[in-house]
Protein backbone atom coordinates (compact mmCIF):
# COMPACT_ATOMS: atom_id res chain seq x y z
CA UNK A 1 0.00 0.00 0.00
CA UNK A 2 1.22 3.47 -0.81
CA UNK A 3 2.35 6.29 1.45
CA UNK A 4 -0.81 8.14 0.42
CA UNK A 5 -2.84 5.34 2.00
CA UNK A 6 -0.69 5.50 5.11
CA UNK A 7 -1.09 9.28 5.38
CA UNK A 8 -4.83 9.09 4.71
CA UNK A 9 -5.45 6.57 7.49
CA UNK A 10 -2.96 8.19 9.87
CA UNK A 11 -4.91 11.45 9.54
CA UNK A 12 -8.18 9.67 10.39
CA UNK A 13 -6.59 7.93 13.38
CA UNK A 14 -5.16 11.23 14.59
CA UNK A 15 -8.63 12.79 14.32
CA UNK A 16 -10.09 9.95 16.41
CA UNK A 17 -7.46 10.53 19.09
CA UNK A 18 -7.86 14.33 19.00
CA UNK A 19 -11.65 14.20 19.24
CA UNK A 20 -11.68 11.47 21.88
CA UNK A 21 -14.39 9.67 19.93
CA UNK A 22 -14.86 5.90 19.73
CA UNK A 23 -13.46 4.33 16.58
CA UNK A 24 -16.81 2.76 15.71
CA UNK A 25 -18.67 6.08 16.02
CA UNK A 26 -16.03 7.89 13.96
CA UNK A 27 -16.20 5.22 11.25
CA UNK A 28 -19.98 5.51 11.10
CA UNK A 29 -19.84 9.32 10.92
CA UNK A 30 -17.15 9.35 8.20
CA UNK A 31 -18.56 6.32 6.32
CA UNK A 32 -15.37 4.34 6.86
CA UNK A 33 -14.80 0.68 7.55
CA UNK A 34 -14.23 0.00 11.25
CA UNK A 35 -12.02 -2.97 10.41
CA UNK A 36 -9.91 -0.80 8.09
CA UNK A 37 -9.37 1.71 10.89
CA UNK A 38 -8.27 -1.04 13.27
CA UNK A 39 -6.04 -2.57 10.58
CA UNK A 40 -4.30 0.74 9.93
CA UNK A 41 -3.99 1.51 13.65
CA UNK A 42 -2.18 -1.80 14.13
CA UNK A 43 -0.06 -1.34 10.99
CA UNK A 44 1.00 2.22 11.93
CA UNK A 45 1.80 1.13 15.48
CA UNK A 46 4.04 -1.66 14.18
CA UNK A 47 5.80 0.76 11.81
CA UNK A 48 6.40 3.25 14.61
CA UNK A 49 7.28 0.86 17.42
CA UNK A 50 8.09 -2.45 15.77
CA UNK A 51 6.32 -5.75 16.37
CA UNK A 52 5.87 -7.07 19.88
CA UNK A 53 8.92 -9.28 20.47
CA UNK A 54 6.82 -12.21 21.65
CA UNK A 55 4.59 -12.19 18.58
CA UNK A 56 7.45 -11.99 16.11
CA UNK A 57 8.37 -15.25 14.44
CA UNK A 58 11.82 -16.70 15.14
CA UNK A 59 12.42 -16.76 11.36
CA UNK A 60 12.23 -12.92 11.24
CA UNK A 61 15.95 -12.27 11.07
CA UNK A 62 17.83 -9.19 9.99
CA UNK A 63 15.56 -6.69 11.73
CA UNK A 64 18.08 -6.04 14.49
CA UNK A 65 15.50 -6.69 17.22
CA UNK A 66 15.57 -9.38 19.85
CA UNK A 67 12.72 -11.72 19.09
CA UNK A 68 12.30 -13.13 22.57
CA UNK A 69 12.42 -11.78 26.09
CA UNK A 70 15.52 -12.94 27.93
CA UNK A 71 14.92 -15.27 30.86
CA UNK A 72 17.31 -16.25 33.58
CA UNK A 73 17.40 -19.97 34.30
CA UNK A 74 19.10 -21.24 37.42
CA UNK A 75 19.76 -24.80 38.40
CA UNK A 76 17.47 -25.53 41.32
CA UNK A 77 19.91 -27.86 43.04
CA UNK A 78 21.86 -24.98 44.55
CA UNK A 79 18.79 -23.15 45.88
CA UNK A 80 16.07 -25.71 46.47
CA UNK A 81 15.53 -29.34 47.25
CA UNK A 82 16.45 -31.92 44.66
CA UNK A 83 12.75 -32.36 43.80
CA UNK A 84 12.78 -29.06 41.89
CA UNK A 85 14.62 -29.20 38.58
CA UNK A 86 14.81 -25.50 37.67
CA UNK A 87 13.97 -21.96 38.58
CA UNK A 88 12.94 -19.45 35.89
CA UNK A 89 12.91 -15.70 36.53
CA UNK A 90 10.89 -13.75 33.95
CA UNK A 91 11.79 -10.21 32.89
CA UNK A 92 9.02 -8.86 35.14
CA UNK A 93 10.79 -10.35 38.16
CA UNK A 94 8.31 -13.21 38.54
CA UNK A 95 10.14 -16.32 39.76
CA UNK A 96 8.86 -19.77 38.80
CA UNK A 97 10.08 -22.93 40.49
CA UNK A 98 9.32 -25.87 38.22
CA UNK A 99 9.97 -29.59 38.37
CA UNK A 100 11.11 -29.49 34.74
CA UNK A 101 11.86 -26.86 32.14
CA UNK A 102 8.71 -26.10 30.08
CA UNK A 103 8.65 -25.52 26.33
CA UNK A 104 9.87 -22.07 25.19
CA UNK A 105 6.47 -21.41 23.58
CA UNK A 106 4.74 -21.94 26.92
CA UNK A 107 7.13 -19.53 28.65
CA UNK A 108 6.57 -16.93 25.91
CA UNK A 109 2.78 -17.25 26.22
CA UNK A 110 2.95 -17.01 30.00
CA UNK A 111 5.15 -13.93 29.87
CA UNK A 112 2.89 -12.29 27.29
CA UNK A 113 -0.22 -13.04 29.35
CA UNK A 114 1.38 -11.56 32.46
CA UNK A 115 2.40 -8.43 30.54
CA UNK A 116 -1.20 -7.90 29.41
CA UNK A 117 -2.48 -8.26 32.99
CA UNK A 118 -0.06 -5.62 34.27
CA UNK A 119 -1.03 -3.01 31.66
* pLDDT by residue, tens only, the chain of 119 residues: 445 688 999 999 999 999 999 999 999 999 999 999 999 998 888 887 766 555 544 555 555 555 566 666 665 454 445 555 678 776 667 777 887 877 888 878 887 777 765 54
Q: What is the pTM of this model?
A: 0.42
Q: Are the C-beta atoms of residues 69 and 92 closer than 8 Å to each other?
A: no
How many Å apart are CA 9 and CA 112, to the nearest integer?
A: 29
Q: Are the C-beta atoms of residues 69 and 89 closer than 8 Å to each other?
A: no
**pLDDT value at residue 26:** 96
**pLDDT value at residue 17:** 92
86, β-bridge pairs:
75, 98
**pLDDT value at residue 10:** 92
Pick the closest to residue 7 from 40, 51, 48 (CA basis).
40
98's enclosing H/E stretch is strand 95-98
Amino acid sequence: MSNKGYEYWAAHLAAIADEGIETKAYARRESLSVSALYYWRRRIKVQQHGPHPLTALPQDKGCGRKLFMPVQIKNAVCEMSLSMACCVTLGSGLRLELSELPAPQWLAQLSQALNFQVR
